[in-house]
């Protein structure tokens, strides 16, 4: 990767510049609407549904929410990660002296068990650069096969970050390859932020042309009020926040709360980044702690207004709704933002208070769709069958 000190500044203008670089390599993914989900989001939860939650005994919130879904599950490799990977490699190839010093032959390396592995493999193949991906031995076979199918060399390691990083160090010593981290680098953040730029333009155009929600009155001449995005390492959330800087669009993050996966939310409350997380949430793409660079955008610059968390059951309920009502395959990590809009009363009350009668046009980022049929089946099989 490029020296962070030599990277473009972390600004909206730099996200715009990143978009011009990656546009030839990525899909311009669609923004979709769904009347059923918009109606559900704008319907108060029942009093019984709030029993056993932090909001038990409270009057349910009555927000007015129009949902707009940015479908990165339809992106190349099935996830937004290709945006950052292509931006990082495009900048690396353009680095002064890189080619002359044998950079192309040495290649690139990363460690990942999922979407970043596939994204970097595809970007490297497209740009004629050898890629080595260090993957834990316990990685899903389908993800290993997909990474290999893009032409990368896969080297196996243990499952802990220490074990993976040790193997990466061996690869770098052996080949001289450049490390391309999954989220904690300015080039990655700027690349991921390009989805936020697209979403803003797409929703504005859809509203202007009357392609709003069926039966809903959208506000002509404006676009989104807010975007809510999943947060794992924070590269995409912080990039999206940069894309909205100065636009008046609020940005929120969503995390699973299971086994402390809501590290960014807890870190914001404590005023200090949490550097390690150990969780087996079903939203497996969000099991990593927020990186140092994303933290400067989320916390230090306060470009993310707030973080919210949801339960495993709420994630599963939102996932089922997308499968059954939108007929779309997404992974559990993708729906934490939707689950927040549907079930988190703190967020819903904020929308009610600030949106009033007019309500909010809320962008939801579907971050990816890489989940196997077997995993989906197991997730929704009856409890007695699991036993």
Catalytic residues: 81, 113
CA atoms within 13 A on the CB side of 147: 29
Distance (Å, whole) CA 151 – CA 149: 5
Question: Which of 153, 159, 161, 154 lies closest to 137 in space, CA to CA?
Answer: 159
* 8 A C-beta contact, residue 365 and residue 230: yes
* 8 A C-beta contact, residue 211 and residue 166: no
230 in helix, strand or coil? strand
Q: Which residue has the tokens 């807890």?
A: 266
* 8 A C-beta contact, residue 191 and residue 8: no
Could you give the C-alpha distances from 287 to 137, 228, 235, 257, in angstroms and in order?
17, 18, 13, 10
3-state helix, strand, coil in the chain (%, to 5): 50, 15, 35
* Contacts of residue 352, Cβ cutoff 8 Å, sequence gap at least 6: 61, 62, 63, 64
Could you give the C-alpha distances from 170 to 135, 165, 166, 292, 373, in angstroms and in order?
14, 9, 6, 24, 35
Distance (Å, whole) CA 258 – CA 311: 6
Per-residue exposure over 61-93, b if at least 16 CB sit within 10 Å of its own CB, e if not: bebbbbbbbbbbbbbbbbbbbbbbbbbbbbbbe
* 8 A C-beta contact, residue 280 and residue 261: no
């Amino acid at each position: 990767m490029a020296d962070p000190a030599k990277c473009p500044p972390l600004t909206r203008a730099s996200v715009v510049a990143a978009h011009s670089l990656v546009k030839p390599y990525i899909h311009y993914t669609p923004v979709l609407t769904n009347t059923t989900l918009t109606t559900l989001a704008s319907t108060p939860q029942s009093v019984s549904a709030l029993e056993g939650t932090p909001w038990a005994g409270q009057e349910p919130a009555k927000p007015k929410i129009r949902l707009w879904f940015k479908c990165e599950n339809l992106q190349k490799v099935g996830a937004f990660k290709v945006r950052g990977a292509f931006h990082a490699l495009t900048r690396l190839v353009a680095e002064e002296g890189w080619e002359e010093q044998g950079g192309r032959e040495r290649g690139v390396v990363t460690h990942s068990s999922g979407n970043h592995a596939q994204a970097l493999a595809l970007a490297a193949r497209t740009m004629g650069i050898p890629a080595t991906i260090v993957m834990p031995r316990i990685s899903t076979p389908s993800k290993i096969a997909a990474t290999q199918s893009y032409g990368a060399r896969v080297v196996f390691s243990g499952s802990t970050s220490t074990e993976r990083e040790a193997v990466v160090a061996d690869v770098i010593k052996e080949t001289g390859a450049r490390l391309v981290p999954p989220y904690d680098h300015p080039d990655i953040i700027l690349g991921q932020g390009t989805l936020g730029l697209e979403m803003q333009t797409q929703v504005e155009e859809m509203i202007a042309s009357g392609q709003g929600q069926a039966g809903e009155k959208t506000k002509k001449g404006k676009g989104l009020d807010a975007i809510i995005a999943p947060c794992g390492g924070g590269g995409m959330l912080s990039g999206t926040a940069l894309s909205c800087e100065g636009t008046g669009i609020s940005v929120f993050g969503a995390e699973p709360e299971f086994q402390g996966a809501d590290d960014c939310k807890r870190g914001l409350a404590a005023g200090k980044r949490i550097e390690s997380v150990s969780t087996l949430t079903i939203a497996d793409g969000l099991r990593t702690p927020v990186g140092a660079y994303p933290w400067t955008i989320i916390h230090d610059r306060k470009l993310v207004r707030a973080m919210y968390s949801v339960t495993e059951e709420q994630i599963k309920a939102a996932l089922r709704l997308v499968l059954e009502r939108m007929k779309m395959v997404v992974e559990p990590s993708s729906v934490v933002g939707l689950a927040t809009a549907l079930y988190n009363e703190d967020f819903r009350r904020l929308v009610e208070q600030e949106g009033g009668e007019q309500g909010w046009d809320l962008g939801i980022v579907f971050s990816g769709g890489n989940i196997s049929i077997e995993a989906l089946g197991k997730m929704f099989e009856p409890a007695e069958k699991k036993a």
